[in-house]
Amino acid sequence: MRDVLERDFFRRRPDIVAMDLLGKVILNRRREAAGIIIEVEPYFGPEDPASRARKGGDLARTMGSEPCTALVYGVHRQWLLNIVAHEDGELGAVLMRGIIPIDPVAFKPSKPISGPGRVTKYLGVDKSYHKAFLCSYDGELQLRHGLSLDTSIIIRSRRVGVREDLPEPFNFKVRVEELLKILKS
- At 28-80, the pLDDT tens digits run 999 889 999 999 999 999 999 889 888 889 999 999 999 999 999 999 899 99
Number of structural domains found in the chain: 1
Residue 136 placed within a domain: yes
Residue 48 near residue 67 (C-beta atoms within 8 A): no
pTM of the shown model:
0.93
Residue 1 lies in a domain: no
Is residue 1 over pLDDT 60?
Answer: no
Phi first, then psi, for residue 81 (nearest 5°) are -110, 125
Q: Say whether pLDDT at 89 is over 80.
A: yes
Residues in a beta bridge with 81: 72
Biggest CA pair distance of the chain: 47
2 in any annotated domain: no
**pLDDT, tens digit, for every residue of 121-178?**
999 999 999 999 999 999 999 999 999 899 999 999 999 988 898 999 999 999 999 9
- In 76-146, DSSP assigns E strands to 78-84, 93-102, 113-114, 141-144
Give domain status of residue 159, yes or no.
Answer: yes
Under 8 Å CB-to-CB from 181, ≥6 apart: which residues?
A: none
Answer for the pair 64, 36: CB distance below 8 angstroms, yes or no.
no
The boundaries of the domain holding residue 34 are 7-184
Within-domain flag for 66: yes
Question: Is residue 78 helix, strand or coil?
Answer: strand
What DSSP element (H or E) covers 26? Answer: strand 25-28
CATH code (residue 157): 3.10.300.10
In a domain, 96, yes or no: yes
In a domain? residue 174: yes
Asked if residues 144 and 4 have their Cβ atoms less than 8 Å apart, the reply is yes
Calculate the CA 146 to chain-centre distance: 13
Whole-number pLDDT of residue 107: 61
Supply the DSSP symbol for 27. E
> 176 by DSSP, 3-state: which?
helix
